[in-house]
Amino acid sequence: MKNELQWGGRFNAAPDEALLRFGSSLNDDLVLAPFDVICSRAHVVALRNGTIIDEATADALDTALAHVAKEIAEGDFTSWAETTDCEDVHGAIDRRVRDYAPAAGDRLHSGRSRNDQVATTLLLYVADRAREAETIASRIVQHLVATAERELAAKTMLAATTHWQPAQPILLAFWLAAGAEGFLRVVRRFHRVAEDAIRFCPLGSGAVSGSTLPLARREAAAYLGFTAPSRVALDAIGNRDVACDLMHAVARALIEASRISEEIVIWATPAFGYVRLDDAASTGSSLMPQKRNPDPFELVRSSAAGAIGALTAALGTLSGLALSYHRDLQETKAHIISGTERGLAALRAFAQALPYIDFQRERMSTHAAQGYTVATDVADALIGAGLPARAAHEAVGTRVAIAEQEGRDLNASDITAIADATTCTIHGAPLDAAASIAAKRTIGSTAPEHVAKALASIRVELASLESPCNHESETTD
């Protein structure tokens, strides 16, 4: 075992096997294998262009790495790596390269530390997963906007709630636009993370202070798609900011999905009956034959907690570390990877489940004015007639209490009684949901024309984020 370890020369004996297993991260970081291979190929570029290795050695290394990449893509590498005693995926790939090119393989790690190797590989992983997450979030925005446009045409209404109590009538398209707006922020977060991940390349920073070998860092960074080499090696090898930014973006995405899921779960109950889920997004009970459970949305609702926990664990680990590399960072890597993989699985499931929602238009619209949801509009009419806000609030609240006692909705008799009590002439006080919605005037309101404008703006902004971006080069001089 001693000869297989990348750091064995200084020691007279191999480490305790149990402690070596405890320190292994192989099972946690195998997902990084394809990114480590491309990172190693970039290091070959740095060695070749820095004339540290000759062309034949570089070609042999690149060929061996191509073989390993093929094994990873086909799934053979994982099964092989799990049979080894390698400490991590980086050491496993190094060993596999030496299997294919023994002499050249011994030169692959020249001028490179696992510190800069891990930091670079992790950034490549972050960029990849951020782009994937951005694509998923974009699909969610597109679906919500398209659904909102259909429901806007159908004029579907519902009673918006605060504190889960009836508040004011809104268009269902307005609710869907709110969800799209939230997920557009998610798209922007992942977009920024993907950009930041490929800004500065740590490869070539060495263990802590750079290298005395003439590594071609600019060429290696360009090979990997980074804007420039990192500027300060001491910072680069221990920096996990962007990885934490990814986890933060994942957590925020799942919070958005969780909040929408909460309403879907409630709306799917017979007490509401606002939505019905297709069989493809429902499950049953092993005991109760009648059950129709919205399990995907319940699981999405709970997934946010796991993402928040992973982010908290990663940040907590980082908070106790000095600059440079410490083995604690291995645990940070594990939290980031596990949290991201589980989080993206939940986000994919949410995107997959959304099209299976069937909104019950008639029931939603019928209930839109129930619970005295037009009361605020009546109060606004009084304010428009010159009555102070506090007096308007009290006058309408008094009539709501009377209507509630009599078991009826607000009607024209209430408007007459309020006018008599306040000596105000009231014009245009809406008493039904459609009139309430149509009466809204402010930008960003639930009025159909404002909802249509909001949806159009969301489409334009999403399109701008999806268009190719050109990044200016950063100077390192």
Residue 202's closest CA among 213, 211, 190, 214? Answer: 211
User: Which strand (E) or helix (H) includes residue 160?
Assistant: strand 157-162
User: What does DSSP say about strands 228-229 and 200-201: parallel, antiparallel, or unpaired?
Assistant: parallel
Q: How many CB atoms lie within 10 A of CB 154?
A: 14
Q: Would you call 79 helix, strand, or coil by DSSP? A: helix
Please say whether the beta carbons of 202 and 119 come within 8 A: yes
Taking the C-alpha atoms of residue 106 and residue 33, their distance in angstroms, rounded to an integer, is 19
Taking the C-alpha atoms of residue 153 and residue 322, their distance in angstroms, rounded to an integer, is 58
Quote the strand ranges of 155-287, DSSP E. Answer: 157-162, 165-171, 200-201, 228-229, 275-277
Residue 187's closest CA among 356, 347, 302, 354? Answer: 347
Please say whether the beta carbons of 70 and 62 come within 8 A: no
Is 43 tagged catalytic? no
Taking the C-alpha atoms of residue 408 and residue 16, their distance in angstroms, rounded to an integer, is 79
Taking the C-alpha atoms of residue 368 and residue 167, their distance in angstroms, rounded to an integer, is 10
Which amino acid type is present at position 1? Answer: M
Is 471 tagged catalytic? no
Q: Give 215's contacts (C-beta < 8 A, 6+ positions apart).
A: 46, 47, 50, 52, 111, 204
Structure tokens at 43: 């290091």
Q: Which of 67, 110, 205, 285 is catalytic?
A: 285
Taking the C-alpha atoms of residue 71 and residue 155, their distance in angstroms, rounded to an integer, is 55
Please say whether the beta carbons of 210 and 476 come within 8 A: no
Q: Which of 24, 109, 110, 163 is catalytic?
A: 163
Q: Give 15's contacts (C-beta < 8 A, 6+ positions apart).
A: 1
Give the catalytic positions in this structure: 163, 285
